[in-house]
Amino acid sequence: MNKRTKILIADDHSLIRKGLRQVIEANTGFEIFEAENGKKALELIQQEKPEIALLDIEMPEMSGYDVAVKANSEELSTHLVFLTMYKDETMFNKAMDIGIRGYVLKENTVTEITKCIDAVLDGNYYLSPAISDFLVKRNQGSNKPSGKGKEIQELTPTERKVLKQVAEMKTSQEIADSLFVSIKTVQNHRNNICNKLGLHGAHALLKYATENEAYL
């Protein structure tokens, strides 16, 4: 008897698990395992050694990222794929750093899932189109990353720190206190950021910051 390909689905939402299972069953003959939290997921990866594990990043007990780190440290052969709701560049970069083979946004069509599984089983990588911008940025030295939040890369580290707090709707005074600098310094940073991003008028910066909070 030929050994069936094993695949693990780890997500805390049973509906998502059902959806994934349905999609996978309709397109493959894989043996499917389900985990509703990170701990369970890691256990199943260790026990069953599936070819692929689809890991939701946001999970109770243990995040998908932590599972991946642990699985990697134990040199398990399972190919890891992240499923997530958010276009989070930081997380994406962290995922690439630990050798994740696929990164799929849940918002996208279900066909992406099957594409991803196929690609990963063929030894390739699969990234949702919406986040492949990040990869370009990552590999090309990053001067002009296209897509949303592209200009953010022009900012200096301190400017980014300030912008993060602006996104939290802190006042310049509050930001100054938290960074142990003068309010004038913060105000200047705000201005410089506005100039770099081409922002003008009342609340322009605040609006930008909140809308692009995810890419900071």
Partner DNA sequence: TAAAATCTAGGTACTTGTACCTAGATAATT
Partner DNA sequence: AATTATCTAGGTACAAGTACCTAGATTTTA
Residues of this chain that interact with DNA (CB under 7 A) are 156-159, 170-173, 179, 181-185, 187-191, 194-195, 199-206
Among 7, 8, 10, 20, binds a copy of itself (CB under 8 A): 20
- Smallest gap, in angstroms, from Cβ of residue 152 to DNA? 13
- Confirm or reject binding of residue 90 to a copy of itself (CB under 8 A): no
Nearer to DNA, 4 or 184 (CB): 184
Rounded-to-integer distance, Cα 188 and Cα 153, Å: 18
Provide CB contacts within 8 A for 61, sequence distance 6+. 37, 38, 39, 40
- Confirm or reject binding of residue 12 to a copy of itself (CB under 8 A): yes
Span from 67-75, 87-95, 103-111, 137-145 in contact with a copy of itself (CB under 8 A): 103-111
User: Rounded to 5 degrees, what angle do the CA atoms 182, 161, 62 make?
Assistant: 140
Rounded-to-integer distance, Cα 78 and Cα 49, Å: 6
Nearer to a copy of itself, 20 or 71 (CB): 20
Among 74, 107, 118, 154, binds a copy of itself (CB under 8 A): 107
- Smallest gap, in angstroms, from Cβ of residue 54 to DNA? 35
- Confirm or reject binding of residue 1 to a copy of itself (CB under 8 A): no
User: Rounded to 5 degrees, what angle do the CA atoms 137, 82, 155 make?
Assistant: 30
With CB cut-offs between 5 and 8 Å by kind, which of a copy of itself, DNA, none does residue 6 bind? Answer: none
Rounded-to-integer distance, Cα 30 and Cα 50, Å: 10
Span from 12-20, 74-82, 91-99, 130-138 in contact with a copy of itself (CB under 8 A): 12-20
Nearer to DNA, 49 or 207 (CB): 207
Nearer to DNA, 29 or 201 (CB): 201
Is the torsion defined by CA of 96, 106, 60, 13 positive or negative?
A: negative
